[in-house]
């Protein structure tokens, strides 16, 4: 290792660079996961009735698919992020773990916003000015723990999927499922 990277200032610069690379990778994975989430999701169908959006008989089963697909895609993307980060690093695991945790939160947030923006517009806004019985599909959202009309309800347990997947994979590989990890490092 070059002498400059052994000094406290060099070590701090290495930690900062490592954290920045993890955050950039997490942002890329999160944005791509948002595209995948929107691609696999099927919008619920509904109609406008008296200025409100109402699910029809075919849309009711699809109402929760946005949340379900968010969890599936976010957990898989989180596992990929955690695995890739663990395999790419051989030292400074604590700094990297913190970067993975923060990066996974960022990635989950980005995943939601990219997927939501790619999906259809808010059906409530469309229904407010539409004629009765006009067909309108629902938007891509994650359901909250409570009844919340916002598309991004922070109280939803679904938003734990990305960080849980990333931290699980990272910790599993760093803490022991990869014997001999520290050899040569």
**6-53: pLDDT as tens digits:** 677 778 888 899 999 999 999 999 999 999 999 999 999 999 999 999
Question: Rounded to an integer, what distance in angstroms lies between the CA atom of residue 143 and that of residue 154?
Answer: 9
> For the chain, which residues score pLDDT lower than 50?
145-147, 183-185
Entry pTM: 0.85
Q: What pLDDT does residue 185 have?
A: 44
Residues contacting residue 29 through CB under 8 Å, at least 6 positions apart: 77, 80, 81, 107
pLDDT at residue number 154: 63
Closest by CA position to 73, among listed 148, 140, 154, 137: 140
């Amino acid at each position: 290792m070059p002498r400059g990277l052994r000094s406290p200032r060099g070590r701090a610069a290495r930690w900062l660079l490592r954290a920045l690379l993890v955050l950039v990778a997490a942002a890329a994975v999160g944005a791509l996961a948002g595209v995948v989430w929107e691609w696999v999701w099927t919008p619920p169908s509904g109609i406008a009735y008296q200025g409100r959006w109402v699910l029809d008989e075919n849309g009711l089963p699809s109402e929760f698919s946005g949340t379900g697909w968010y969890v599936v895609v976010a957990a898989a993307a989180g596992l990929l992020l955690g695995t890739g980060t663990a395999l790419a690093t051989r030292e400074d695991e604590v700094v990297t773990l913190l970067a993975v945790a923060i990066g996974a939160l960022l990635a989950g947030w980005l995943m939601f916003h990219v997927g939501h923006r790619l999906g259809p517009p808010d059906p409530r806004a469309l229904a407010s000015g539409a004629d009765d019985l006009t067909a309108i599909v629902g938007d891509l959202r994650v359901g909250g723990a409570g009844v919340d009309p916002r598309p991004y309800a922070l109280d939803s347990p679904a938003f734990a999927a990305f960080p849980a997947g990333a931290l699980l994979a990272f910790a599993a590989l760093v803490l022991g499922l990869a014997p001999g990890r520290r050899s040569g490092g």
